Amino acid sequence: MKLQKIGGFASIGHGILVVILLVMQLLVFRHLGLVGLSDWCDPAKSFYAMNASPITFFIFALEFILFAITTILVVLALRERMHASAPNLMLIAVIGMSIACALWLATGVIGIVGMPSIVSAKDASAFRAVMAMLFGLGTAGDSAWGWVLLLIGWAALRTKGLPRILSYFFVLRGVVMILEFAVQPLIIIALLLGIVFWPWLGIVLLRSKS
């Protein structure tokens, strides 16, 4: 199977992961009492939520790992598509993607392997330290991914390797993800944009003849 076809399926899969994450953010975590950052960092509230629904938090951590895998496939497919016309931009994008995915993988693995033992021991000090690390890693990964999206959007606009409106979507979503560390509500906006963005990109890649 050609790389762009694989990237197309990965992009649609990424879109499904975004929908799952959005549902978790807007419904599941709120139901468990985790509405804002202050709730997540409160050991009492988080311990209660994690003990009440451990599978929810396993899926949440697993999402970071799956995001990294699908992202790698999508960016490699886009590199194949636009490398000939924008080699430097796509090379930098691949490097940025590697950084973002490494950070997401670390976030997911720590969440799956490290967090359950801390919750079981009800170690509030260790919990605060690990939560700070997880939020730092996740936010850094999102910021790096934002720059990757900007580079891909720039390359797509220069080479016309993607539909023009989709290229602007890359730029817009990149800006949103870069700024989300300072404006938390932008996380939800980025997810909402992803519901349209990822399936659309997937269809474009699946229709590719190259």
Domain count across the chain: 1
User: How far apart, in whole angstroms, are the C-alpha atoms of residue 104 and residue 162?
Assistant: 26
Per-residue pLDDT, 210: 53
Is the pLDDT at 209 greater than 70? The verdict is no
120 CB-near residues (< 8 Å, 6+ apart): none
Residue matched to tokens 């690390």: 133
Tokens of 141: 């990964």
CA 72 to chain centre: 11
Domain that holds residue 79: 3-206
Over residues 66-123, the pLDDT tens digits come to: 999 999 999 999 999 999 899 999 999 999 999 999 999 999 999 999 999 999 999 9
Q: What is the DSSP letter of 184?
A: T
What pLDDT is attached to residue 184? 73
Task: Give the residue from 64, 161, 169 showing the smallest Cα distance to 110.
Answer: 64
The pTM (predicted TM-score) of the whole model is: 0.91
- On the CB side of 142, CA atoms within 13 Å amount to 24
